[in-house]
Amino acid sequence: MAKVALVTGAGRGIGRGIALALAEAGWSLVINYRGNAATANETAGMVREAGGDALVAQADIGAAADRARLVQAALDQFGRIDLLVNNAGMGPRTRMDILETTEESYDEVMNVNLKGPFFLSQLVARTMLAQLEGGPTEADGGSPHPPQIINIGSISAYTSSPARGEYCISKAGVGMMTLLFADRLAESGINVCEVRPGIVETDMTSTVKEKYDKLIGDGLTPIRRWGQPEDVGKAVVALAEGLFPFSTGAVLDVDGGFHMHRL
């Protein structure tokens, strides 16, 4: 029986890269999307071409009823969840000086980027604990690895961008959320880690491509290229496949070396 991963925001960009990498490693995927069914179905087709099974599930993770429906859909289709990847995220719809940030923009970004992942993790963690108590063992055809939660953070967790403060705050919160769930779930054998991408070439960064082309060329990152969704996908697979069994609450930087202090 294939292992089952629920990846939020898996219709495109980093989420798609993660879904495809997991499919190539033999995982079945629950591909969550909020509004773009076409891209989610494209991802599902690519997952199936890579040999994985795929369920496409619409849900706004910022809404409690949608989160519950998403988890139930995964359980109805596959019977369990072995991995949750909290990837769905958004930047502010309009970048503006932090002195002008609106409550509406703040609430929307925090709802998707932090509140939603927090309560989805809570819901899935309860499901995982129930699986550990009464679910199948590997000998019975179950997962060979304990369940895990992987949060997709951002270098914006520690890098100031005053024109999108709500995004930075949300990603800093994801870092603490990772520590909290890692601490709480370690005794049950559920590891929780954060993968922290840097400048990755996606739809979200397409509007600033010229700016970052120059910065990367001038040495902003020691590895002088854009990150790609598959770079993040490979990091997620390494964690998901149990290659870091003695690590929890950890941050895996996938940022071309951006995080290093350099002179």
| pTM, two decimal places | 0.95
259 domain residue, yes or no: no
Reduced to 3 states (helix: H, G, I; strand: E, B; else coil), residue 49 is helix
Is residue 260 in a domain? Answer: no
Structure tokens at 15: 């989420």
In a domain, 248, yes or no: yes
CA torsion sign, 112 to 20 to 14 to 130? positive
Distances (CA, A) of 42 to 8, 58, 126: 15, 14, 31
pLDDT of residue 43: 98
Is residue 146 in a domain?
Answer: yes
Q: Provide the residue-wise pLDDT of the chain in tens; the chain has 263 residues.
A: 789 999 999 999 999 999 999 999 999 999 999 999 999 999 999 999 999 999 999 999 999 999 999 999 999 999 999 999 999 999 999 999 999 999 999 999 999 999 999 999 999 999 999 999 975 555 445 556 799 999 999 999 999 999 999 999 999 999 999 999 999 999 999 999 999 999 999 887 878 889 999 999 999 999 999 999 999 999 999 999 999 999 999 999 999 999 999 98
Residue found under tokens 């292992």: 3
Q: Which residue has the tokens 């989420």?
A: 15
Gap between the Cα atoms of 158 and 22, Å rounded: 28
CATH code for the domain of 155: 3.40.50.720
Domain range spanning residue 109? Answer: 4-254
Catalytic residue among 33, 158, 167, 212: 167
The total number of structural domains that make up the chain? 1
DSSP assignment string, 113-153: IIIHHHHHHHHHHHHHHHHHHHS--GGGT--SS--EEEEE-
In a domain, 129, yes or no: yes
Whether the Cβ atoms of residue 58 and residue 8 lie closer than 8 Å to each other: no
Q: State the virtual CA torsion across 96, 58, 47, 244 in degrees, nearest 10.
A: 70
The reply to whether 262 falls in a domain is no
117 falls within a domain: yes
Confirm whether 33 is a catalytic residue: no
Q: 261 in a domain, yes or no?
A: no
